Amino acid sequence: MNWISWLVPALILLPLAGGLLAGVITNDRLRNVLVSLLALPVAAGGIAVVCLSTFFPGGIWTMTVPPWAAYAGNALEVAIIAVLLIVSLKIRNAWIFLLTLLQLAGVAAGVFVPADHTSTFTLFKIDNLARIMLLVSCCVGAAILLFSVGYMKRHKEHAPQGAGSLQRFYFFFLSFLGLMIGLVVTNHLSFFSFFWEGTTLCSYALIGQDGGEARTQNAVRALLINSFGGVLLVLGILVLKIQTGGETFNELFSKDYFTLPAAVLLTIAAFTKSALFPFQSWLLGAMVAPTPVSAMLHAATMVKAGVYLVMRITPNFQSDVRVTMVIAFAGAITFLGGALLACTQSNGKRVLAYSTISNLGLVVACAGINSPLAYAAGLAIISFHAISKGLLFLCVGRIEQEIGSRDIEDMDGLMFKMPFTSLMILIGMLSMLLPPFGMLLSKWLAIEATIRSPFLLLFMVLGSALTVFFWAKWIGRIQHTGYHAVSVKENMSKTMKTALGLLALMVLGTGVTTMLILNKVYVPMAESVFGTGVLLNQAATFPALIIFGAIAAGGVLHYFLCWRTFKKEWVRMPFLCGENVTFQEVEGDNEIRSYDFHSIGGKIEHSHVTSYYFRGIINEKLVTGCLNWSAWLIILVLIGNTLSKTVR
């Protein structure tokens, strides 16, 4: 089993090396082959590391290194911050320049803090939480990587003037994946900070990939907010070093020292990375990036780094109930606020963005509740959300390329125009709100975990209800189509179709085995962290195969009793305010829908059916402002509680 000691560094370096190669290869076909081939070893390597690490004592694999490696971590940390400093000078942003200077000052101050550099320390550590994050990063990330080959080939043809090259794109895109893998397995906080800031740099470059004023502004906003989080991260590491003399998670969780201030600073830094209110604007702005970037940010890497850190920290402060409950409310307000604002959006990517923000808030709320049941729910949400949201983002990107719009109202009739993509996106959406898929059942566990906190429970119930509303709306719009005797064959690249198919299979596979995964994986993980059992109600043992079996049986009956015996002459056009259009007119003109009609002089009138978006009732700007102020207040309360406990 010792060869895992080189497999883990290789898994980190493989995407980084691939990024360097992709950055220098000028031939598009050769680069595409390289990127496509990299997807397999990344996924296989991640699965291999996860499986092999379980055979070590206690199910935890560690890699110790000589004491001088700590200086290497500090050097890498300084190097990446220096790069960010150069970027801030290049874009002439004083605030980012100031924040990066503060980061450098924090790292420099840590050099003068007495520390033990005479003994070995654990550089890499893979436990249950790291295994989950590795599977998310490697498997979902590999599928997104494969999809990007076909997507970016077409994207290049329609990219705006001044857009970055594909060499530049894949350099940062692959580096992004490698840095995320390093982030979730490292145990030393200097190395952690290097990987953390590396993802910040890559996100800045990828959001601004296509150039233009709007994309540049959004990229700068992402860099600004995450640089603020970087300052908090460095400050937290400095406080930890002052208190304990160490820079690893082991010292952070040591019971011999009072490390709550450092933990809270790291937690607020995680809020910025996971785009919780009031830091959500950078993630909404990131929607201007090419779709593979959006998918990677939301599903596999960037935002998952923040909730990973929160889930890593909170179980170790079970006695500080006042602090952890404030963290729970910070997550709950984001869960409810994100779901509410998603209901007001017709832009598909913004719906997905707000949905992501909402679900990240739910994970943080579960972490703050600090019970085995809530922790198990949080672990499950991280996994199931990554697969479903990765599939959804890729589908929306595919739809946008085909119809030239990401507006939900323009997706009318999509089942006829793009049957394969429509099926994929419907699978992704249904997995977000229906049983026995993992997202619904994970939210149910989260609601059960809040049963003793009525106010928090209200947030959970309302947020879950709003989630059903905006997904059901979108599902209805995609299925809203006229009658067509035959379906068209959708043309798309093999890499895109393979990536969507693999993610859909992951969604269906985890849906069939949701209860098995919860009972055999996440519940034991939570029990090992908290040292106590998790009680699941009888509904948690209901076999998902019964539901899927009933659906399959219904589908077979429908096919033989309805579909095969259906006759075209039975179809009648809907009656509106004039003579209905004919089937020949619908089939001869893509702009004509079956529910259009002829008015005076034979003119074809387009009837308009729209979803409900609370226009005139909910003002996005006003609601966002209220949520931001509430979130800042919660952060101040969190800091105040920490200071009061520190003084005492």
- C-alpha radius of gyration, the chain, whole number: 25
Q: pLDDT band for position 539 (50/70/90)?
A: very low
Task: Tell me the residue length of the chain.
Answer: 648
State the amino acid at position 614 in one-letter form.
F
Residue 595 or 127, more confident: 127
Most distant CA atoms of the chain, gap in Å:
91
DSSP state of 405: -
For the cut 90, the answer to whether the pLDDT of residue 486 exceeds it is: no
In contact, 522 and 446? CB cutoff 8 Å = no
Nearest CA to 14 out of 174, 187, 200 is that of 174
**What pLDDT is stored for residue 131 in this prediction?**
94
Our CA dihedral for 387, 185, 77, 66, rounded to 10 degrees, sits at: -170
Cα 366 from Cα 304, distance rounded (Å): 14
DSSP string spanning 14-28? HHHHHHHHHHH---H
Cα 306 from Cα 317, distance rounded (Å): 18
Mean pLDDT for 203-215 is 89
Lowest mean pLDDT among 250-254, 380-384, 419-423: 250-254
- Looking only at the bridges linking them, the beta strands covering 597-598 and 61-65 are unpaired
3-state secondary structure 609-628: CCCCCCCCCCCHHHHHHHHH
Cα 129 from Cα 185, distance rounded (Å): 10
State the amino acid at position 75 in one-letter form.
A
Q: Where are the domains of the chain?
A: 318-563, 572-613
For the cut 80, the answer to whether the pLDDT of residue 162 exceeds it is: no
* Distances from the Cα of 475 to the Cα of 351, 401, 466, 595, angstroms: 13, 20, 14, 19
In contact, 281 and 246? CB cutoff 8 Å = no
Burial of 2 (C-beta count, 10 Å sphere; 0-12/13-18/19+): exposed
**Positions of E strands within 484-609:** 579-580, 597-598, 604-605
Q: pLDDT band for position 538 (50/70/90)?
A: very low
Phi and psi of 64, rounded to 5°?
A: -95, 150
For the cut 90, the answer to whether the pLDDT of residue 405 exceeds it is: no
Task: Say whether 61 sits in a helix, a strand or coil.
Answer: strand
Share of the chain above pLDDT 90, in %: 51
Cα 435 from Cα 632, distance rounded (Å): 35
Angle among Cα 628, 335, 141 to the nearest 5 degrees reads 105
Cα 118 from Cα 537, distance rounded (Å): 51
List all residues 6 or more positions away from 120 whose beta carbon is below 8 Å from its beta carbon.
Answer: 64, 65, 66, 67
For the cut 70, the answer to whether the pLDDT of residue 206 exceeds it is: yes
Highest mean pLDDT among 298-302, 438-442, 570-574: 438-442
Taking the chain, what is the end-to-end CA distance rounded to the nearest angstrom? 48
In contact, 470 and 343? CB cutoff 8 Å = yes
Strand partners, 579: 598
Q: Which tokens belong to 634?
A: 């919660």
Highest mean pLDDT among 491-495, 527-531, 587-591: 491-495
> How many Cβ atoms are within 10 Å of 434's Cβ, its own excluded?
16
**What pLDDT is stored for residue 242 in this prediction?**
87
Cα 3 from Cα 163, distance rounded (Å): 43
Write the pLDDT tens digit of every residue in 285-300: 988 889 999 899 887 6
Mean pLDDT for 549-576 is 73
H or E segment and range at residue 74: helix 69-91
Tell how far CA 297 is from the center of its chain.
Answer: 6
Cα 191 from Cα 184, distance rounded (Å): 11
For the cut 60, the answer to whether the pLDDT of residue 1 exceeds it is: no
Share of the chain above pLDDT 70, in %: 89
Task: Say whether 210 sits in a helix, a strand or coil.
Answer: coil
Mean pLDDT for 139-147 is 94
Task: Say whether 112 sits in a helix, a strand or coil.
Answer: coil
Nearest CA to 233 out of 81, 68, 67 is that of 81
| pTM more than 0.75 | yes
Cα 412 from Cα 65, distance rounded (Å): 58
Mean pLDDT for 443-463 is 88
**What pLDDT is stored for residue 546 in this prediction?**
73
For the cut 70, the answer to whether the pLDDT of residue 5 exceeds it is: yes
Q: Is the peptide bond before 278 cis (omega within 30 degrees of 0)?
A: yes
Write the pLDDT tens digit of every residue in 33-47: 999 999 999 999 999
Angle among Cα 434, 437, 441 to the nearest 5 degrees reads 85
Q: Is the peptide bond before 436 cis (omega within 30 degrees of 0)?
A: yes
* Distances from the Cα of 202 to the Cα of 80, 397, 419, 521, angstroms: 11, 20, 35, 33
3-state secondary structure 415-445: HHHCHHHHHHHHHHHHHHHCCCCHHHHHHHH
Strand partners, 64: 122
**What pLDDT is stored for residue 318 in this prediction?**
65
